[in-house]
Chain A
Amino acid sequence: MDATRSGTRRMLRRLVMGLAAFCTLTTAQDSYDAVYNDIGSLPCVRLLNATGAIGCQSLNAASGVLYRTDTLADIQHFASDHDLKNKYTVVMPYWLLTSSNVETLRSTDKLSAIIAVVNGTDAAHTVAARPATINSPDSKCPNCEFGLYANTPNQYQWNPTGTDLLSQQFDFPIYALNTMDDRNIMSYNAVIQAVNINRFKGYSSYPLKSLQFHSFMWAAQDTGTCLRKGWCTPVGGASVWSTPSLNISSSDNKPIVVISAAMDSRSLFHDLTLGVESSITGMVTVLAVAEALSRSSIPLDTMQKHILYTLFTAEAWGFSGSQRFVQDISSPVNCIKPPASGSGCTYPFFSDLDFQHINPANIDIILEAGQVGGITSPAGGSPTLYAHIDNLQPTASAALLTQIVQVGSGALGNTTTPPATNAAVPVQAANGDGTQRGLPPSSAMSFLKARATIPTVVLTDYQKQMSSFTSQDLDDTWDPVNTVNAIQQAASVISKTAWMQAQGVSDATLMTPAQQQAIGSIQVNVQLVQDLLLCLTRNYSCPLIDGYLNVTASPSPPTRLPHYAGTLYSQSQPFSIFAWNFLANVTSVKGVTQNATGVPPPQVTGCSSRSETVQCTSDQFCVGDQCIQTMTRYHDAFGVGLGMAEDNSYFIKDASKPTWTESTWDPVGLRLFDVTSPGSQGGELAAGIVLTIVSIVLVVFGRRFLKKTLKVD
């Protein structure tokens, strides 16, 4: 009896307590929703290297009344307006975010944060409102301190108008707005609506709309400090290399033709980094080259030379991908702790050791596609491609340069005539004007640092100056005609030159009739170039990628994904994964090579769609629902100045080499709320204090009164 009663009572008590907790929770959530409006955020974050830090940090949760500036005059007006007594969040078009403007704002002591609008629907934020010339926010010579000419006095400055905004340190939050998808359109509309209300009220009649920011970065000082505390992760990802020669070996003495490009780029807001001109055009070129060469009527793996495609990640961070690749293939792997099962090595860590098949001494030539999209600001006319060679060893590359220009001029007879609808993009030697500038910043430099005499040509769309879109958040568009033409021509020139080189031909006029015939099979697929441009920028769920990765099966198929390299092992590498699958597919042996009996090897399909019944053999990979054999591998990319210890922690191995890391952060976010005038805030505080005093007095006197009347102790 007693037990039941106490049981019931306990249950009742629990019920009441649960109800009370529920009520508090809902009211707390309700009142939160009534006060705050959470907004999707595109933050600028903190990065560190061996000597310091760049990017944004905010030690306290900053908040500021939204203030709108559309022009330079607005910024100056804000700075000189003494009626503004609050802290402000300045909303400005992205192109106004320059070092000098930021300094003007910061020095007013009224700035709490900046919101930069990259693309917006408001008249001030459209493309038309941008000035004709926009300067690159990168340095005057991006990554040159880690390049081939780092120790050469007076090295050529490839980005002379670069503002170097990216290498600055900001101790307040900077966020971006960009109307690129539904979620971000909502954020944009909320902020613009709020700032317009404030402007309508003249920033003086309260309540005004205010934004609060959380962007607390854990790391400070430099990479050495934050790695020691475990508060940062190396910037890096996965490079991809691939060769049609399945049997490539370090001892086959067969020369290697390297075809290379970068896969990543950088900008202030990593969620927005696309780098169409900065890197995607080069990546598309290499993928198009691989596809074109895969159609060679002479099988590639039977040629005199190997062909090796390399797509490097983290190149925007001191050529980390290419330098690490060159470093790893150049030194023998001393595996101290072999893996329990499978390939690779546990310490030092390698997911596979197949890169040892590449003998750096066999690398015969390097062809690289840099910025080849002809995308400039102000928009230029039809593009020209320039072939750059090293100026320290100019004779090594002279013959290759001549050959590239010859191929580019269409001197291969009727087989290479470009489609009549498009005018061919001219190809010129970059030193044709008599000035030896050397190589522009490129992955090839990493190879040349190891062996300076490798004949190397880097193809770009500039002769003297990189595109002003270099490392821009605005580098998100291209010209549907010029860009596609330029990429097609670059891919065509590189594929034909590589093909001839692999055939051992260094002069087009010396080709045999059979070769003349065969080279005609190398045609760059224009449709593929267009598809790749779209897939790699705005629609990761396009049919081309979906065919390999079945991305549309996900509940929310990805569309635009950032091309920032990310942090090592902690972020997915969508573009590396696609590049791997694409290269694996086009370089794989599928019926071209016949086996001993003269019958093409049987093709096994369904390994992905019917994975429970169809399984590939251990030496095969499942690519696009088909079991294939391929020599396509990932290769870890992170600064060669960093090392990985046995316990998977990182340390600085060589501070003179790239050591970029990204800080760990607390969840970032921004929320919109109404702020009352400073006067009424003081009133609220005073009222609160008075109320507290009154209740204390009431309690004291009340107790005394009750004690007296009830006569209890």
Chain B
Amino acid sequence: MAKPIEKMGADEILVISRKLFYGGFCLLPLLWVYNILYIWPVRNRADLSPLVRRYLLLSGILAAMLFVYFSVWYGVFVKERLNWGARGDLLTVVLVKGV
């Protein structure tokens, strides 16, 4: 069984937080969300490097920005994809019959 976060050393947490933060740039934005959720219980530990808090903050901002971006894109896509013709079909994974 993996070590719970509470029992990890400050260095270990810093390494994990940094990995999750940079990992998010590999088109894996959920890692940012995971970063916040995972580190959240120990965020205020005194021995933690201030870098961890910065990673969490940046992860949160990026995740929120992407959330807004994807929501807007989803709305536009659902509303407009039928009007985009062949390009719209190309962007659609499952073509819905009858519409």
Contact = CB atoms under 8 A, between A and B. Distances in A.
A650 interface: no
B98 A218 contact: yes
A221 B85 CA distance: 10
A671 to B, nearest CB: 21
B85 A57 contact: no
A217 B98 contact: yes
A57 B98 CA distance: 8
B82 A216 contact: no
Query: Which of B82, B89, B99 has the largest number of chain A CB atoms within 10 A?
Result: B99
Task: Report whether over half of chain B's contact residues are helix, strand or loop; otherwise say mixed.
Answer: loop
Contacts of A708: none
Nearest to A230: B95
A347 interface: no
A231 B96 CA distance: 11
Contacts of B82: 221, 225
Interface string A32-63: 00000000000000000000000001010000
Interface of B: 82, 85-86, 89, 95, 97-99
Given A59-B98, A218-B97, A229-B95, 15 more contacts: A57-B98, A59-B99, A216-B98, A217-B98, A218-B98, A219-B98, A220-B98, A220-B99, A221-B82, A225-B82, A225-B85, A228-B86, A228-B89, A229-B89, A231-B97
Sorted nearest first, the 8 A-B pairs with minimum C-beta distance are A218-B97, A220-B99, A59-B98, A220-B98, A229-B95, A228-B86, A216-B98, A218-B98
Interface string A305-346: 000000000000000000000000000000000000000000
Nearest to A58: B98
Interface in A161-220: 216-220
A57 B97 CA distance: 12
Nearest to B88: A225
Nearest to B95: A229
Interface of A: 57, 59, 216-221, 224-225, 228-229, 231
Nearest to A60: B98
Contacts of B99: 59, 220
B90 to A, nearest CB: 10
Contacts of B95: 229
A221 B97 CA distance: 11
A231 B99 CA distance: 11
Contacts of B98: 57, 59, 216-220
17 contacts: A57-B98, A59-B98, A59-B99, A216-B97, A216-B98, A218-B97, A218-B98, A219-B98, A220-B98, A220-B99, A224-B85, A225-B82, A225-B85, A228-B85, A228-B89, A229-B89, A229-B95
A221 B82 CA distance: 9
A229 B98 CA distance: 11
Nearest to B97: A218
A229 B95 CA distance: 8
A126 B86 CA distance: 50
A225 B85 CA distance: 7
A105 B9 CA distance: 74
A458 to B, nearest CB: 40
A99 B9 CA distance: 78
A220 B99 CA distance: 5
Contacts of B97: 216, 218, 231
Q: Quick one: which of A59, A216, A219, A225 has the most chain B CB within 10 A?
A: A225
Contacts of A221: 82
B87 to A, nearest CB: 11
Contacts of A225: 82, 85
A59 B99 CA distance: 9
Contacts of B85: 224-225, 228
Nearest to B83: A221
Nearest to A228: B86
B7 to A, nearest CB: 32
Contacts of A59: 98-99
A47 to B, nearest CB: 15
A216 B99 CA distance: 11
A76 B97 CA distance: 35
A57 B99 CA distance: 10
A368 to B, nearest CB: 40
A416 B39 CA distance: 106
